Every structure is written in structure tokens, then in C-alpha cells.
Amino acid sequence: MGLLGDSEEGGKGKGKGKGSSWGGGGVISSLIRRKQVDSVHAKSSAGHQLAKALSVPHLIAIGVGSTIGAGVYILVGTVAREHSGPALTISFLIAGIAAGLSAFCYAELSSRCPSAGSAYHYSYICVGEGVAWLVGWALILEYTIGGAAVARGISPNLALLFGGPNSLPAIIARQHIPGLDIDVDPCAAVLVFIVTGLLCVGIKESTQAQVIITTANVCAMSFVIIAGGYLGFTTGWAGYELPTGYFPFGVDGMLAGSATVFFAYIGFDSVASTAEEVKNPQRDLPLGIGASLFLCCALYMMVSVVVVGLVPYYAMDPDTPISSAFASHGMQWAAYIIAVGTVTALCSTLLGSILPQPRILMAMARDGLLPPFFSEVNIKTQVPMKGTIVTGIGAAILAFIMDVSQLAGMVSVGTLLAFTMVAISVLILRYVPPDEVPLPSSLQGSIDSASLECGRSGQGSNGEQSKFKVGTSMDDDKKPLLVKEDASDILNEENRRKIAGWTIMLTCVGAFLLTYAASNLALPRSLRFSLCGVGGTLLLSGLIVLTCIDQDDARHSFGHTGGFICPFVPLLPIACILINIYLLINLGTATWARVSIWLIVGILVYVFYGRTHSSLRHSVYVPAAHADEIYNSSVSSVA
């Protein structure tokens, strides 16, 4: 492995090896360039940093508040009537386990790479700039539309607390504008501005508000569980005493219900976006992600057990299943408590939807892919205030003038794409972690000096240059500065990395072919079975190969060590990839048509701005083992 890599501007480096493969300023080379995990060198040169103010309780509040929306108050009725029946609880459990696979992957990467940006940041480090840009661009769409959709849903539920659908004061009630044929929602816009102002005050203050709102929502759900459980025990659980049994739609219906309720778990990934603001990210981030997902799963299951038991599944009201279940037992007043829970759930989800986006924008702007306007951190509040204000204005405009319910499916694309890339990043980190890091071109002199010294010391007796690596301690006189590596070991390691890299790629292809063929019933029968066979073979072969070959030793020191380690690799990430690709394919043609327009716009923005302004465009890639020595050498020469 050569010490020196060519720069993006025509190859300033003179060394040979893998580093030189990154040279050239073309589009392809820009798509695959990767950044390093934020180091002490990068942070020392950065501007104002985000405030480190969050601990485990704050993270749990963010995760639970972002995940448990108003959907649970409606979803239980729809899924029970159409898919699961009394087996709704098992559907929530299976969906929770599937979401837990992604949570394990997030937990490892967030503790290893604790910087703002979440899945965008991990993809940039492990996969490349092109994929990272698409992930970040999709997440921008998700949080913008998600926030607007949630805000539009608050006003009708808020009106129920005032006595009816049209009970809000006229100044904030929905109004129809005949000339434009649109329904404007001033209440939604006002709520978005309130949340935006709260987020601008500071991360600790906004998170404390999230704790209060989420607690109110959990109390409302606890009322449903306790009061509903009491009614069930006193009336005999009529919903479970049915001749159709526990699985009226069969196991297939129960699994279809799991695929539907899986989207009720989307939101825990918001915890990872606050990684840079956590006091102890290696310990607290995995705990926050895991605890929030566990609490959500437990609450979902207990609510579904109670509601399905109170009323037979076929008699549930699809719009207000919980309120109607209590009303059927003479507790009409419970509708007000449930309405409070719905409003607080929507408010906490709104806050959780707007919170991550400024941090995604900030991370992309730090990397030069977006204008530096978004990377500025307010000195006093230590939050990306400008990005937060822009996010709030965009979400408020959409919530005010558009009925975004038809665009709600687009929200899931960003999340599922992020989940998929996070799982792929875990496989890359374990088997083929980046062995080269980008250094600024200002260190070219130190790089040339180190390369020249290594070249002189690496001449073998036959006149050919051998492979060397710089020692990790320049002050330890007991260790040589240059350590010769065995050529056969290097060759074996390179072969292992090539095999692992191709296997990961073919495994992803196999997952796509298998899920596409299994989901597309319009394909000819023979073609479907052929694609399923090819996809299944690639998937199983990839699992076997990755299980048999060794993981890369560099994984132990990659990023920030001492945090959570994802178990059952490669099985767990591959299962995560398979589930998420299946859900992506089944989002529907109309959703993908809308998302494609947004992604095409993103590609144009990247080609004409992001690629040419990337902070890596002048970088020189060197082996990761030599980066610290080069930094130390540059500091010594300046001193």
C-alpha cells in the first residue's frame, strides 16, 4: 500500500499504490471519495461547536417523542380490521424486532462516529460521497414533508378538545380559498413557528420541552392500558372470544400487518442526529436508541392487547378505534383524554421532525456540499440557528398551503434508504473499513517528506521497494520508525478485502432481486421464480462467505472505540438490508415517481454545486496508519 495518494486536482502526489486510484477530478472519482471520522485535528480547526448538553433521559425523550405519533391511535383499528385481527400484538412485536435490527446498526455507528449528520455522515465515511449525498438529500425531504404533515394533523385533533371539528377560533381555523382552490391551515403554520423558536433557544431547553410533551403522551397511553385493562377483566375480553380464532387472516395477514405497523417505529433514528450534542456518546447513544425503541414497542403492544380485547376486530371504528372502544363500554368521556394524547403525540413528533434537519444541513454544509450558510452555529445558543429557521419556514409554508397527506409516503423513502445504508455501512466497517484518509493539500510537504523517507528505507537487497508502514510511536526508541511488512501477508489481506467488498455488493444485489421478484406479481411466473432463485442464491452465498472469512483487524481501532458493538454480524445487517429493501419496493409506483423528481433535482444540485465545492476536492489520500505521523510532522515543522 503506497503512502501517497494523488489529489483531486490532477494528482499532486507522486507515490504509487491504492491511494493513487483516488486521483482525478472526474465525476466518478468524486462519487467514491470518502471522508474520515472526525478527529482531534479536524475539530481543532473547526468553528463554533454544538453544545454538549444531552444525557440518556433526554435521548429517550427525543426517541420516544419522535416515534410515537398519532398514528398509533388510528393504526390499531385499520391493521386489526384488515390484516391481523386479535394477533395485532404479534404484528407489533415482529415489526419492533425488525426495527431493532436497524437500531443495533445505528447504535454501533453512532458511538463510533458521534457527529451530526446521522446516516448521511456514516454513508460518507463508509460508502462514498455520491451515496451520502443521496441519503442526505432524501432525509431533507423526509423531515420537511414529515414536519408539515404532522402540523396539518394537529388542528383537527385540537378542535376536538374545543367541542367539535369547527370549534377553533376563526383566526387559526382552516379556511378554504375559492380562487386558488386550496385549504390554508394557519394553526399548523403557527405551531411550526413555535417549535422552530423553541429549537432556536437551545438544545437543552427544547429537549426539556420534549420531555414534558412526551410524558403527557405516555400518560394518555398509560390511561388506555390501565383503564382498558380494567374494563377487559370486568367484561370478559370479548374481542378474544371469537370463533375465527387468534389468526382470522392467517399468518400471512399477521405478517402483512407487521409490514404496515413497521412505519410506526420510524423516528428513533432522530436520536443519532444529536450525536454531537451528547455528553458521553459512546455510552449514552446506544442506551438512548435501545431504550426508546424498547419503550415504544412495549407501549404499542400493551395498547393493542387492550383495544383488540375490548371490541371484536371487525367491529372497530377505523378512524377512532380507541375512543369508540371505550364508548362502547359507556366511557364517552375517555375521548377527551385520548384527544389530549393525540395532540401531545403530534406535537412531540413535530418537534422530533424539525430537530434533525438543521443538523443534517449543517453536516452537509461542513463538507462543502451545501452553502456554508447552513454550517454556522450561533455563539450564544450553540445551535445551527440559520438552518433551523430555514427549516421552520419551509415546513410552515408547506403546512399552511398544502395538503401533504398524499405526499406522506415520500417520508418513508428517506428513512428506509437511511436504514439500508446504515446496515451496509456496518458490513463495510467490519470487513473493508477505509484504509486511507483524506488530508488537506496544505500538508503536501509533510506527505512528500514522509513518502521519501519511507521509500529510502524500503529498498530491499534486490533493489525493489518493499512495503513499509510508519511506526505508531515516534518517541519510543525501543521500536523502529519503519517496520517492514511481509509481502505475502499484504497480498492475502488485499485479496480478503477484494473478496469481502465484492461479496457485500453481490449480497445487496441478491436482496434486491429476491424482494423485487417476490413483490411483483405482474411478472411471468417463470421469470419470478428465476429471479427469486438468483437473488436467494446470491444472498445465501454472501452470508456464507462473509461468515467464513475474517473480519478486518482495523475495525477494532476504527473511529471512536469503546462504544457499542453490533452483534451477529453479518447475519443481522443482511437481514436488515433485506427487510428495508422489501419495504422500499412496496411503497408504490406513485410514491417512487414523486421521489424520483426530488432525487433528480438533488443530482443536479450535486453535479453543479456539491461536487465542485466539496471539502475533499483538493484532498490527498494517505494510509490511515500514517495520518497522525504526518500531522505531527507538520506541527513540528511549523514550530
- pLDDT tens digits, residue range 149-160? 899 888 888 887
**3-class secondary-structure state, position 89:** helix
State the residue for C-alpha cell 508502514. 469
Q: Which residue has the cell 465484492?
A: 502
Reduced to 3 states, what is the DSSP secondary structure of residue 409? helix
As a whole number, the mean pLDDT across the chain is 85
Which of 174-183, 199-208, 279-288, 533-542 has the weakest average pLDDT?
174-183
Q: Indicate the pLDDT class of residue 453, thresholds 50, 70 and 90.
A: low
Which pairing describes strands 468-470 and 482-484: parallel, antiparallel, or unpaired? Answer: antiparallel
Given a cut of 70, whether residue 477 has pLDDT beyond it is no
pLDDT number for residue 67: 92
* Counts for the chain of helices (H) and strands (E), in that order: 24, 6
Cα-to-chain-centroid distance, residue 252: 29
Task: Tell which residue, 227, 274, 247, has the closest CA to residue 115.
Answer: 274
* Higher-confidence position of 635 and 473: 635
CB 517 within 8 A of CB 449: no
Q: What is the pTM of this model?
A: 0.88
Confidence of residue 8 (pLDDT cuts 50, 70, 90): very low
Domain parsing of the chain, residue ranges: 58-431, 496-557+565-587
3-state secondary structure of 307: helix
- What's the average model confidence in pLDDT over 163-182? 81
- Grid cell listed for 181: 382552490
User: What pLDDT does residue 545 have?
Assistant: 96
* Residue matched to cell numbers 371484536: 312
Mean pLDDT of 236-250: 88
CA distance 196 to 212: 17
Q: What is the pLDDT of residue 637?
A: 60
Query: How many CA atoms are closer than 13 Å to the CA of 629, on its beta-carbon side?
Result: 22
253 grid coordinates: 395477514
pLDDT above 90: residue 268: no
In this structure, which topology does domain 58-431 adopt according to CATH? Amino acid/polyamine transporter I (1.20.1740)
- Give the pLDDT of residue 627: 72
Residue 293's alpha-carbon distances to 95, 414, 448, in angstroms, are 11, 19, 50
Give the contacts of 170 (CB within 8 A, at least 6 positions apart): none
Paired with 437 in beta bridges are 622
Residue 636, amino acid? S
Average pLDDT over residues 253-262: 92
Instruction: Please state, as a whole number, how many other Cβ atoms lie within 10 Å of the Cβ of residue 182.
Output: 14
Q: Is the omega angle on the peptide bond into residue 371 within 30 degrees of 0, that is, cis? A: no
Alpha helix segments (H runs only) across 438-486: 444-457
Best CA proximity match to 47, nearest among 282, 384, 388: 384
